[in-house]
Structure 1
């Protein structure tokens, strides 16, 4: 028997993509949209609706290529979390990533910071 299953439909064009996905055994619906503004910048939005409690989640984000080896990504969500990611390819297929997330609801808690290193020989 299936323990998890999802179904969806997507519409793709050269400069944008839109999708509807029925998730969690039909308990949630996710709608997403991705738009390429120019060759180095893109924006995206995602909304998730849970049918069981009529709860909605909404997130918007952006991605910008600073140069061919460096990208900057941002994310803002309706639960008042803000995230940023800076990624640099310092050797072919080897990446260093710095990330942070700030929860504006929990002003007493510290901002989360992260660093990742991915090496390929």
Structure 2
């Protein structure tokens, strides 16, 4: 069970099991209102993962830059409040496009 509760009117757009360079392993989620990264802890014995805590909860309005980097080891790069986060997602361009679309849609709904 996810420790992050959805807000009224919030819809999940994308989610992926990935790692952030400093926060380590977790699940990255994009909703129509925010970006969430929940850390996970796995066990080799059962090959299962457990969600621990929401390490990041960033409103879309606070994201100042979205870009991609890398060719083989691709990263999704987010900048918020001067802090850079780098996520090792499978399809970084898909994520960047989806985030940019949600930011644009969110701004037009305000």
TM-score normalized with structure 1 length: 0.26
Rg larger in structure: 1
Higher relative contact order (CA 8 A, sep 6+): 2
TM-score normalized with structure 2 length: 0.28
More helix by percentage: 2
